[in-house]
Structure 1
Amino acid sequence: MSQAPPPYPSDQKGGAPPPAYGPPPAGYGPPPGGQPGYGPPPAQYGYGQPGPYPPGQYPPTGQPAQPGYYPQNQQATTVVVAQPTIAVVQQYRESPVHTRCPYCQAEVMTGTHYETGTFTWVICLILALVGCWIGCCLIPFCVDGCKDVIHTCPNCRQQVARWSRM
């Protein structure tokens, strides 16, 4: 570590190309294993280690098998993993929803319309208590944002769901 590191290309003023990195200096030997960048596998894994049996042959029945060797008479077992099914809950809100109709079993985009619900009446009573007597307390009955949303099937015209605001 007695030498300074080479300068960065941005530090050079003459526009010369940066130094090319080549083989290691003469004081360094080749990496272990002989192949550049790779060494031999650790001995604990048993790669390339000769076993007590020639390749392709297995120990006789009754003898313990060495790691990496399997006796011929063992049956392969199949493990079946059951995945839990996840039910998707539909969010019935103001916009139409793509769903399966429980009545006609068709894949449909629900139709929506509005009906007076509890929230509409509560807003009407609050406006009446505040002092909006002459017709102003009836405004919630004209605003779709105060009403409940009814989802219907366009095929069989049955009510699929109702979204109540309250």
Structure 2
Amino acid sequence: MAEKEPPGTTVVIHGGNYGPSSQQVVCPNCHNRVYTVVKAEVSRRTHIIVILLCVFLCWPCALIPYCIDSCKNKNHYCPSCGSYLGTYYN
């Protein structure tokens, strides 16, 4: 049975367990404890949604996925050194 973390303990996230919002991590590059900077960036999925909207004659709405963050990947970066930490895929 796993033990619970004591109050005030920070859990460090390594690998691909990032969420859609900023998270506290220890940067593997600069070793600072930081809250990640999240940038929503267009992905292949966003382009596919746009193409499908065009194919199904919804071309007036086709560019909307480029304006909606939920259609984009959330890339996490370290605010101290700017290194890429991971991505949250929708």
Q: Which TM class, normalised by the smaller chain length?
A: 0.7 to 0.9
Cross-structure match for 1:158: 83
Q: How many residues align?
A: 78
Greater strand proportion:
2
TM value normalised by structure 1: 0.43
Find the aligned partners of 2:78 and 2:40 in 1 and give their Cα distance: 15
TM value normalised by structure 2: 0.76
Find the aligned partners of 1:88 and 1:153 in 2 and give their Cα distance: 13
Q: Max radius of gyration: which structure?
A: 1
Find the aligned partners of 2:15 and 2:38 in 1 and give their Cα distance: 18
Cross-structure match for 2:52: 126
Looking at both structures, which has the greater relative contact order when contacts are Cα pairs under 8 Å and sequence separation is at least 6? Answer: 2
Find the aligned partners of 2:20 and 2:29 in 1 and give their Cα distance: 21
Q: What percentage of residue pairs aligned between the two structures are identical?
A: 32
Cross-structure match for 1:11: none
C-alpha deviations, 1:118-158, integer Å up to 9, x for none? 11011111111111124x11110010000010101111111
Question: Which blocks of at least 5 consecutive residues in structure 2 are unaligned?
Answer: 1-12
Summarize the alignment of residues 16-165 of structure 1 with structure 2, pairs less than 5 Å apart.
91-134=17-60, 136-165=61-90
SS in 2 for 1:91: coil
Greater helix proportion:
2
